[in-house]
Structure 1
Amino acid sequence: MIKFENVGLRYGMGPEVLRDLTFEIAPRSFQFLTGPSGAGKTSLMRLLFLSLRPTRGLITVFGHETSRLGRADLPQLRRRIGVVFQDFRLLDHLTTYENVALPLRVVGREEAEYRADVVDLLNWVGLGERMHVLPPVLSGGEKQRAAIARALITKPEVLLADEPTGNVDPPLARRLLRLFVELNRLGTSVVIATHDLTLMEQFDARRMILADGRIQIDE
């Protein structure tokens, strides 16, 4: 689904922060992206989401070589990728329900078409009773689950999650990971960026380890 070939990335005239990255994200796969702080995990996630272009090398997403795509072509590919940001990025003036439904509204879907799907998804992540409250009222864990629901509402083929358990306690972190595992079981490829080794040890999954700008795959 996603293929990197000798990819490198630098910001401006600085040194490469990522170099010689060659790997694939297979359909229905589950993997952790890990490494020390400053290793470049967030930069790699941005490359995966197509919000950055590589300085060199080739990235192929759903059969499209991204260097050959224009800016107008990228949104259609991005809609096939769900993203859970570390800082949630919920809109405080919208209810939980409205935040989750927003990606569907943006593409012109009518509420009558998607309301049942949004309600079902909020129930699935345990927010059925919180769908009509605003984000400032939600706890950190509830905001995280709302962000996950928003990423899933478009039924993405790939889900990228940047430190999705970094702001919650260990029991909730395990619950969130089980949601990702269940999503993967249903057919979505999952990439989770995390530095929590204890959490990773509880799940049998491929590890992509970033260090010094390079990647090592631990199957």
Structure 2
Amino acid sequence: MLSFENVGLRYGVGPETLRDVTFEIAPRSFQFLTGPSGAGKTTLMRLIIMALKPTRGLINIFDRDSATLDKDEITETRRKIGVVFQDFRLLDHLSLYENVALPLRVLGREEASYRSEVTELLKWVGLGDRKHALPTVLSGGEKQRASIARALISQPKLLLADEPTGNVDPTLARRILRLFVELHKSGTAVVIATHDLSLMDQYDAARRLVLADGRLHIFE
């Protein structure tokens, strides 16, 4: 599904932010990406979604060398990847239902073809009774679950979550983790970037990818 081979990234003429990063993400796998603040977790995720290009090395995604993809191919590849952002990135003028449905609207689908999908997904994340609410009246936890639903509506093969429990209490963090575990068990590969060791300890079946000093260390 995804592999990095000796990937390095440098901004300008400064030292490399990432050095000789080599790892694979298999289909239907689950991994935590961790490390101290500033270690490069978000940078690594931006490389995966091709928002950044590596200075050197090879990134292979869905059996394609990312360096060979043109603009349209990059867009098509990104549709196979769901992303949950730490800052939610919901549109305040759209209802919760409309925010979750937005990726399908962008694809040109008629509402009648996805209305039940969006409704069922909102129920799955525990927001079935909030679908008409605007993001401005939602709690942090509700916004996070809404962003998870939006990331999942296109049925991605790979889900990336950047500090998805960073703005919620421990009880809600456990609930959000359970959603990711259920998703993984249904067949989606999951990568969660987090510095929360207690969260990782709750699912010891996951592999840990640890970034430190620009290098990646893998713990099975």
Normalised to the residue count of structure 1, the TM-score between the two structures is: 0.99
Identity of aligned residues (%): 73
Look up the match of 2:113.
113
TM-aligned CA deviation for residue 122 of structure 1: 0.1
Look up the match of 1:217.
218
TM-aligned CA deviation for residue 12 of structure 1: 1.8
Matched, 1:157 2:157: yes
In structure 1, distance between residues paired with 2:83 and 2:52 = 14
Matched, 1:16 2:16: yes
In structure 1, distance between residues paired with 2:164 and 2:207 = 17
Look up the match of 2:7.
7
- The amino acid of 1:165's aligned partner reads T
Unpaired runs of at least 5, structure 1: none
**Superposition pairs for residues 79-158 of structure 1, below 5 Å?**
79-158=79-158
TM-aligned CA deviation for residue 41 of structure 1: 0.3
In structure 2, distance between residues paired with 1:103 and 1:12 = 34
Matched residue SS, 1:31: strand
- What's the Cα RMSD here? 0.6
TM-aligned CA deviation for residue 71 of structure 1: 2.2
Look up the match of 1:206.
207
Unpaired runs of at least 5, structure 2: none
Look up the match of 2:181.
181
In structure 2, distance between residues paired with 1:51 and 1:180 = 24
In structure 2, distance between residues paired with 1:71 and 1:52 = 13
TM-aligned CA deviation for residue 193 of structure 1: 0.1
In structure 2, distance between residues paired with 1:197 and 1:155 = 28
In structure 1, distance between residues paired with 2:50 and 2:67 = 11
Matched residue SS, 2:54: coil
In structure 1, distance between residues paired with 2:23 and 2:140 = 33
TM-aligned CA deviation for residue 72 of structure 1: 2.5
TM-aligned CA deviation for residue 47 of structure 1: 0.6
Normalised to the residue count of structure 2, the TM-score between the two structures is: 0.99
- The amino acid of 2:216's aligned partner reads I
Matched residue SS, 2:28: coil
- The amino acid of 1:26's aligned partner reads A
Matched residue SS, 1:175: helix
* Bigger Cα displacement from structure 2, 62-71 vs 80-89: 62-71
- The amino acid of 1:147's aligned partner reads S
Matched, 1:71 2:64: no
Q: Deviations over 1:175-200 (max 9, x none)?
A: 00000000000000000000000111
TM-aligned CA deviation for residue 150 of structure 1: 0.1
Q: Deviations over 1:30-73 (max 9, x none)?
A: 00000000100000010111111111000000000011112232
Q: Deviations over 1:118-170 (max 9, x none)?
A: 00000000000000010000000000000000000000000000000000000
**Superposition pairs for residues 37-52 of structure 1, below 5 Å?**
37-52=37-52
The count of aligned residue pairs is 219
Q: Deviations over 1:94-116 (max 9, x none)?
A: 00000000000001011000000
